[in-house]
């Protein structure tokens, strides 16, 4: 089943699902909440990516795995129970929403989908927005880790060596030609450049199924080949995992990603565009 839902499909289901807003801008603390306060879907609760979908930055990277307690508290505040159907969205790029989709599934939420095109697509389709903040819910969801496979640094290196490790950052960052965020430029040796912007079409939606399938096949994703994803800090890596899910590939995410990889100077760093 697709993890995506169109704005048009969502409009008729607003009363039957829990809607969660995860608008977010990298490096702009509090901006996501400000954007939510200015406009969000009716009934949508806000969840903060930095504070609730990630642990504190440190040795495990800029957006390490959050605790089960943090995720459970956030989902209960949104009114989520074990059998709730949840829909998440962000401003439009779907990276933050994909992180929420991935984290919630990792902690055991069974039904969670992403609004294809996010808030931008919702408003473009004529969907209403509001500034009204719903009362906190009283959900009973119990978060348990382990719902999805993970990659650690050693596992990511192994996939890069024996399978296909997809680097979700821009090709320039993968090649080490520029690095605007992390202290070291380059990529995990053997990783393949696969910018997540190429998962999206010019209309701001995910590319059709057949186009995604061809994209990943060209990158070496084939039946029987081990596949994993990583990025700078584990956010766009979840976007890559969502796109792969749409073509039937459940790829583990290296959550620490590049920002954790470079914490250990013994780990090798590759640069340049030659494999």
DSSP string for the chain: --SEE-HHHHHTTGGGSEEEE----TT-TTHHHHHHHH-B-TTPEE--HHHHSS--SBTTBSSPPPPHHHHHHHHHHTT--TT-EEEEE-SSS-HHHHHHHHHHHHTT--EEEEETTHHHHHHHTT---B-PPPPP--------S-SS-EE-HHHHHHHHHHSEEEE-S-HHHHTTS--SSSSS--B-TTPEE--GGGGB-TTSSBPPHHHHHHHHHHTT--TT--EEEE-SSSSHHHHHHHHHHHTT----EESSHHHHHTTSTTS--B-SS--
Q: How far apart are CA 78 and CA 273, in angstroms?
A: 44
3-class SS string, 31-70: HHHHHHHHCECCCCEECCHHHHCCCCCECCECCCCCCHHH
C-alpha R_g of the chain: 18
Q: What is the mean pLDDT of residues 45-57?
A: 97
- In contact, 227 and 164? CB cutoff 8 Å: yes
Q: How far apart are CA 45 and CA 65, in angstroms?
A: 21
> Is 90 exceeded by the pLDDT of residue 190?
yes
- 94 among known catalytic residues: no
> Is 80 exceeded by the pLDDT of residue 231?
yes
Q: What is the mean pLDDT of residues 40-65?
A: 97
The pLDDT value given to residue 105: 98
Q: How far apart are CA 55 and CA 100, in angstroms?
A: 13
Active-site annotation holder among 231, 238, 253, 255: 231
> Is 90 exceeded by the pLDDT of residue 70?
yes
The pLDDT value given to residue 30: 67
- In contact, 269 and 187? CB cutoff 8 Å: yes
Domains of the chain and any CATH numbers: 4-124 (3.40.250.10), 150-261 (3.40.250.10)
- In contact, 91 and 118? CB cutoff 8 Å: yes
Dihedral angle sign, alpha carbons of residues 184, 193, 180, 91 = negative
| Residues 6 or more apart in contact with residue 175 via CB below 8 angstroms | 186, 187, 193, 271, 272, 273
pTM attached to this predicted model: 0.97
The pLDDT value given to residue 1: 86
Q: Where residue 28 falls among pLDDT bands split at 50, 70, 90?
A: low
Return the closest-CA partner of residue 212 out of 184, 234, 185, 241: 241
Q: What is the pLDDT of residues 121-168, one digit of tens each?
A: 999 999 999 999 999 999 999 999 999 999 999 999 999 999 999 999
């Amino acid at each position: 089943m697709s993890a995506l839902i169109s704005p048009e499909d969502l409009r008729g289901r607003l009363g039957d699902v829990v809607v969660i807003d995860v608008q977010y801008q990298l490096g702009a603390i509090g901006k996501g909440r400000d954007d939510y306060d200015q406009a969000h879907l009716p009934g949508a609760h806000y969840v903060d990516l930095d504070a609730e979908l990630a642990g504190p930055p440190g040795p495990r990277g800029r957006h390490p795995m959050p605790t089960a307690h943090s995720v459970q508290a956030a989902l209960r505040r949104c009114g989520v129970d074990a059998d709730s159907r949840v829909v998440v969205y962000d401003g439009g790029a779907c990276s933050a929403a994909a992180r929420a989709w991935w984290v919630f599934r990792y902690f055991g939420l069974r039904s969670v989908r992403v609004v294809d095109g996010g808030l931008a697509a919702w408003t473009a389709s004529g969907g209403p927005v509001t500034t009204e903040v719903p009362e906190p819910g009283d959900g009973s969801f119990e978060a348990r880790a382990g719902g999805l496979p993970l990659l650690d640094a050693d596992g990511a290196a192994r996939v890069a060596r024996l399978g296909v490790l997809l680097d979700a950052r821009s090709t320039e960052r993968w090649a080490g030609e520029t690095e605007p965020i992390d202290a070291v430029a380059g990529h995990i040796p053997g990783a393949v450049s696969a910018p997540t912007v190429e998962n999206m079409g010019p209309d701001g939606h995910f590319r059709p199924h057949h186009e995604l399938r061809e994209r990943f096949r060209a990158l070496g994703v084939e039946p029987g080949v081990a596949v994993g994803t990583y990025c700078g800090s584990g956010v766009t890596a979840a976007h890559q995992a969502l796109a792969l899910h749409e073509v039937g590939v459940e790829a583990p995410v290296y959550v620490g990603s590049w920002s954790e990889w470079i914490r250990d100077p013994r780990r090798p760093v590759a640069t340049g565009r030659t494999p």
